[in-house]
Amino acid sequence: MEPALQEALLPKYIAIEGPIGVGKTTLAHKIAETFNYDVFLEQPTENPFLKSFYRNPKQSALATQLFFLFQRMQQIEDLKQRSLFEPVRVADFLIQKDRLFAEVTLSDEEMGLYDKVYEHLTLDAPSPDLVIYLQAPVEVLLDRINKRGNPDEKFLTVDYLERLNDAYSKFFLYFENAPLLIINASDIDLESGLINIRPNSARRLKNKTSERVLPLVGYAKQALEQNLTQADDEWLFPQYIKSGHCYATHASNAVNKWLKKDFGGFTAHSLRHTFRDRLRAVECPMDMIDQIGGWKSITSIGNSYGRGFTMDQHRQYLQKIMIT
């Protein structure tokens, strides 16, 4: 495909949305790095009322929300001014999210005042060419919030995050202002570079050992990050999803056809054999190889004892065999 055509297919302005801790900023940085986009990020540390809001939401909610509204509108104005010189950009916020947060945190009286300000300021806000909405359950959000270690965010409650999640779901249920891509971010942690392989509504796994968490490295990580921006469905490969069921054999057949034509009769299953051989060649422990590949270990019953290997140890060996 010609480079000019590839650029034409990419959205010029992407907005990423989702609740606190879901991975908006991380994905924005990844998109910016992959496609050389200019990045516009929220600046929560500049809000002088935010610390007080985390500790006492009712007391500081209105001041906190109005500061964010003014800040985001200033960023939108900057974006419009710079559009002639930087034609592609990605933001980790959508201006409409400000009112969404306000509805969760403000009283009825405060909401009336907020609405008057909001309607005046947002009249000329540009619409993105693509909105990416990242979803994750509250337990995943709390885990990621705790991992990033912001001391002020420790005051966030389960109730607040549940109400925020519910508000996001309702907002995007009727969203029609721009093309919308909804992604379940529960199984992909771009901040830590991890993917969670587990059963879902479309496909079960072969056995318990198939369920695992793995680091993403090399081309696998790059391909996933790129597909997240170009997918037009909740599934990364929607062509293999029919009536809510994943037809994995169709994907294998497509890979097999390509491999047999250009690589002397190899099949998709050959990749798993090669993968195991490459890990052996770098002296990866056998029980770690079994864990990474989702194979049931036959080497020793003792392999099931203890905590096993860390993600950093998995990543170390995967990086040794990745193709650069």
Active site residue 92: yes
Residue 57 burial by Cβ neighbours in a 10 Å radius (0-12, 13-18, 19+): middle
Of these residues, 38, 92, 159, 312, which one is catalytic? 92
Separation of alpha carbons 232 and 215, rounded Å: 25
* Interstrand relation of 13-17 and 89-91 (parallel, antiparallel or unpaired): parallel
Count of C-beta atoms within a 10 Å radius of residue 199: 10
Cβ 89 vs Cβ 39: under 8 Å: yes
Separation of alpha carbons 195 and 183, rounded Å: 14
Cα dist from 10 to 100, 125, 137, 232, whole Å: 28, 21, 29, 12
What DSSP string describes 168-188?
A: HHHHHHS--SS-EEEEEGGGE
Give 109's DSSP letter.
H
Count of C-beta atoms within a 10 Å radius of residue 103: 16
Active site residues: 92
